[in-house]
Structure formats: structure tokens, C-alpha cells
Structure 1
């Protein structure tokens, strides 16, 4: 891997005071948000970018709520959030919006990705292992419901899976059911 790594900067936020570091992998720039005094076995959230949920507050998913929960928890527990630039399960923003349009026409999130010629989930997690090694982290408590994240993180001991359950709403209830029933998420 040819990775470019930024300097460390302070990031005061509404969630707490963090340190940040960016990792550039090709055209993708990932962000690590963490407490300066990381726990020996920190809680780590691996969060894939979701512009509509994270920045705009979309009700079609639970991504923005999960990110806010993770940042609050990282602040309280001296943890870390790894923000991966993998928009729309790594199909990109344009294709994600096209998938949204197909969902408006009755397809579910998995069917929409397939209709557009993508696999159910195009994300990868090699960068997570790279980042954790960079920080000298050998053991983590992984904040996730996604079994693919658990099985994809190598050379790092996951001592505990910490669930991250958000309340559903009328706009994301079917989406969450698909995540549970078709993607095997631990909801």
C-alpha cells in the first residue's frame, strides 16, 4: 500500500476535543478521529462515509445517528472513529443517488445496487488494519453490527463487539430490515 499520512491536528467539536489524522490511499482520503489518551483496548467505530446521512441528516438510513453516537462514545471512552471514504457501500455518491431513485420505484437497497451492476456491498476494510497498526493498536472493542467488518479486520484482536442500535423510523424501517435479513447485520 502506498499511503500518505497527514500530521496530527486538534479538532474541537460538539462531541468533544479530538485529535485527527488523515490517510490518503490513492484518490481516497480517510480520517481518523481519536482521543489523545486512547484506551489500551479502545472502542473503535469503522464508519463508511454517508454524505446524505452524516451531513444532511437523511432519514433513509441510520448512518448519521450512528456516527454521532460513535463520536460521543469515543469522547467518553477515549476511543476512535475511523471514517472511511466509501460512499454508498463504495459505489460513489452519483450511483448512490441512482440507487435511491430505484428505491423510490420499489427496489430495496440490495436490489438497487444489483440493478446498477454492483455487488451488494463493494466496501473493503484493509485500510482499517493499516490504520490500527499505524497507531500501535493490537486489540479493540469494535462498535458495529456488520459481520463483514468483524471478519475483514485482520491481525487485530477484537475482544468485544459492541452493538450500535439506532431507533428506526418510517423512512428507514425497510432498509434496516434488509440489513438484518439479507446482509446479516446483528440488529
Structure 2
């Protein structure tokens, strides 16, 4: 089995809910629907999986032959209504989603796994909007969660790792700036052969948010400025 080529500085030990290898039931999600999905980035196959852990339905968009493949380009994308649908400038999520689909299409093979139920790093849309109000009062994204008595990051990736395995992947190249996602997949026994930087230039609205993610959450960000900002 391939081993990770990531440098030590980009690897974190898994802990808590992400200690996936200890799970007793190996079937964590069921594939409940599949269909062709033509998009402006090309034609993908869409697969809906229902998690046995919490009943949440996740969507995998796939391109090309995946069965038994090594080093498949993958994006684990956490649901973000405000960024993905409304084009919010408070985050970089919508642009990351578009970039991931574009990169997979260019590669000719890959998976975008859209993880529902992870709005606002897992706190839900109501608490996320309340967090935005607190940020407008001067708190950063971490402090805004803590002020509501909520986890800084409530997401887990048990179902994600299972879904990638079910799609036939043997190892991945992960489009991510978040070491926790890398650690979760590797703890599940799915090697991350390479981290593919997936950074969007900061704008005036989200720069502080991205700085906080780098400084407090350990995200691997260079924080380039957007031309004209």
C-alpha cells in the first residue's frame, strides 16, 4: 500500500471522532442514487450516499475511471450555502468549489465529494449567521463560535473516507489547505499521496477570516492578495 509523501509539517495525528480505524461497522454509508450530471465544467456522474452515522445525504461528483486507481484528484468540500449558492465574499468556499470542478475536468479524472451537514464548520446555518453578526462586532471566526458555546470545528470525515473507498479509490491527491482532512483520510487507511494546494486569493471581506484559519486552525495558506484589493 502506498505511503504518504507529505512532509511532517503538513501532517497531523488524528484524534477524537477522526480516529476512524476504531469504528466497528465498516459500512458507514449507502449509495442510494446515481445519475449523469452535465455541468458547465463538463459531464460528471453524481452519486448520492446516505450516511448511517447521522442520516445526512452526501453527493459525490465523479469523472473518469476510479476503480483501483492511485493518486486520484479529490476535493472534500464542506457544504456552504452562503458561499456556494449566494456567492458570499465572507469566505472562499464558492470559488474553491468552482476551482475544484475545473481542476478535475482538466485532469480528466477525480472526485468532488460534497459533504452536507457541515455548514459553518458543522455548526449549522443559524449559528453560522449568528457568528457572522458577532464577527461584525469584532470577534474572529474562532471566537464567534466559542462565544456561542459551540465547537470551533464540529466536522468529521468518517463517511467521507468510506465513500471514497466505495468509489474504488486506493489513494488520493487531496485538494485542501486543511491538515485535519489529510489526517482523517490517512487514519482511515486511505493514503494521501500529495496535498494539492487549493487557495483562492483573499479579498477585503475574507482576509481576516483566512488569517485566523491560518493562525488558529493551522490551515496551510499563503494568503495572496487579490489584484486591486
Q: By the TM > 0.5 criterion, same fold?
A: yes
The structural deviation recorded for 1:132 is 1.3
Instruction: Report the Cα distance in structure 1 between the residues aligned to 2:33 and 2:131, rounded to whole angstroms.
Output: 36
Question: In structure 1, the residue corresponding to 2:217 is in which secondary structure?
Answer: coil
Aligned to 1:145: 177
From 43, 60, 70, the counterpart of 1:32: 60
Deviations 1:133-158 (A, max 9, x none): 11121110011000110111121011
Aligned to 2:145: 113
In the comparison of the two structures, how many residue pairs are matched? 187
Deviations 1:46-71 (A, max 9, x none): 00000000011000000000000001
Q: How does 1:47-66 map to 2 (within 5 A)?
A: 47-66=77-96
- Note closer, same or farther for the CA distance 1:2–1:176 as it changes in structure 2 (3 Å cut): closer
Deviations 1:88-124 (A, max 9, x none): 1010111111111111111110000011111110000
Instruction: Report the Cα distance in structure 1 between the residues aligned to 2:82 and 2:155, rounded to whole angstroms.
Output: 17
Aligned to 1:80: 111
Aligned to 2:193: 159
Instruction: Report the Cα distance in structure 2 between the residues aligned to 1:100 and 1:184, rounded to whole angstroms.
Output: 21
Q: Point out which structure has higher relative CO (alpha carbons under 8 A, 6+ apart).
A: 2
Instruction: Report the Cα distance in structure 1 between the residues aligned to 2:46 and 2:105, rounded to whole angstroms.
Output: 13
So what's the TM-score if we normalise by structure 1? 0.96
From 60, 85, 100, the counterpart of 2:132: 100
Contact kept? 2:140, 2:212, Cα under 8 Å = yes
Between stretches 83-92 and 29-38, larger displacement belongs to 29-38
Structure index of larger Rg:
2
Question: In structure 2, the residue corresponding to 1:178 is in which secondary structure?
Answer: helix
Aligned to 1:43: 73
Aligned to 2:30: 4
Which blocks of at least 5 consecutive residues in structure 1 are unaligned?
none
Q: Over aligned residues, Cα RMSD in angstroms?
A: 1.2
Deviations 1:17-75 (A, max 9, x none): 10010111233111101103346421100000000000110000000000000011111
Between stretches 36-45 and 137-146, larger displacement belongs to 36-45
The structural deviation recorded for 1:7 is 2.8
